[in-house]
Structure 1
Amino acid sequence: MDKKLQVDRLPRKLLNIINRFNEIDKKARNFGTDMVLHLSEIHLIEFIGDNAGLSISEIARKKNITKGAVSQTLIRLEGKGLVVKALNPENKSQAVISLTKKGWTAYCEHKKYHENINKIILSCIQGKSEEEINTIYTFLEQLENFI
């Protein structure tokens, strides 16, 4: 296949991949629990698991989202038994958020989900030379910077 045809096909191929990934990633899953979790919920669970003992304000600031968005998602997660609020032992006027046992299950299953994605990506570059891998990485890095 000539280079011009390959270059002309690249944007469509990339958009197809992005669209398919988004369709898969946006689907609600149970992540090892007895209820479905939406993308915003599992990503907040992941953030809390990676950053223990934060308040709602600290979570909002670090995730660069509103306190209202954090609060609404936390209310749903509390109702599902995945997170709990407790008084900060160092500041009794502040609540800190932590994962329950069920929350940790979802956290671990979400990590496995990402590990599976990593395996798929690594299998796609298996057998490629270091130069080819660097070219792919550089392309993705440049694309990320533009977006």
Structure 2
Amino acid sequence: MDKNFQIDNLPRKLLDVINRFNEIDSKARNFGTDETLHLSEIHLIEFIGDNEKLSVSEIARKKSVTKGAISKTLIRLEDKKLIVKALNPENKSQTIVSLTKKGWIAYSEHKKYHENINKTIFSCVQGKSEQDIKTIYYFLEQLENLL
């Protein structure tokens, strides 16, 4: 393929890939449960699973989100029986958040979803030279920094 053609079409191709990924990734899914989960909900489930027994305030602080935004999402997750809130036995004025069995199922299925994305990406670079992979990585790193 002609280098000028590739350079001229690279931005459009990258945007097409990003748009396609966003279409796929932003769809609500059930992640192995009987509940439809939106992106913000499954990512909060993932965060809780990775950081067990945090308070609402600690979750908000670590995610750099307002306590109100976290609380709203937690209420939805609690209604869907994916999380449970309980008083912290060490500090009775604090509520800690944990995943339920159903929440752990969603957590696990979300991890599998990301493993499948990783496999897709790995299949795209399979057989490429170490230098090609470094070039791709460096390009993505630069783009991320500029954005």
Instruction: Give the alignment's TM-score, normalised by structure 2.
Output: 0.99
- Identify the residue that residue 62 of structure 2 maps to in structure 1: 62
Instruction: Give distance in 1, aligned partners of 2:82 and 2:35.
Output: 10
Instruction: Give distance in 1, aligned partners of 2:132 and 2:76.
Output: 45
Aligned-residue CA RMSD in angstroms?
0.5
- Identify the residue that residue 121 of structure 1 maps to in structure 2: 121
Which letter does structure 1 place at the counterpart of 2:24? I
Instruction: Give distance in 1, aligned partners of 2:107 and 2:35.
Output: 14
Deviations 1:6-63 (A, max 9, x none): 1010000000000011011110000000011000000000000000111111101100
Instruction: Give distance in 2, aligned partners of 1:35 and 1:49.
Output: 18
- Identify the residue that residue 33 of structure 1 maps to in structure 2: 33
Runs of 4+ in 1 over 6 A off after TM superposition: none
Which letter does structure 2 place at the counterpart of 1:8? D
Which letter does structure 1 place at the counterpart of 2:57? S
Instruction: Give distance in 1, aligned partners of 2:103 and 2:69.
Output: 19
5+ residue gaps, structure 1, are: none
- 1:60 counterpart SS class: helix
Identity of aligned residues (%): 78
Within the alignment, does 1:49 sit opposite 2:46 as a pair? no
Paired residues, number: 147
5+ residue gaps, structure 2, are: none
Which letter does structure 1 place at the counterpart of 2:107? Y
Instruction: Give distance in 1, aligned partners of 2:89 and 2:146.
Output: 44
Which letter does structure 1 place at the counterpart of 2:14? L
Measured after TM superposition, the shift of residue 5 of structure 1 is: 1.2
Instruction: Give the alignment's TM-score, normalised by structure 1.
Output: 0.99
- Identify the residue that residue 74 of structure 1 maps to in structure 2: 74
- Identify the residue that residue 15 of structure 2 maps to in structure 1: 15
- Identify the residue that residue 95 of structure 1 maps to in structure 2: 95
- 1:34 counterpart SS class: coil
Which letter does structure 2 place at the counterpart of 1:98? S
- 1:85 counterpart SS class: strand
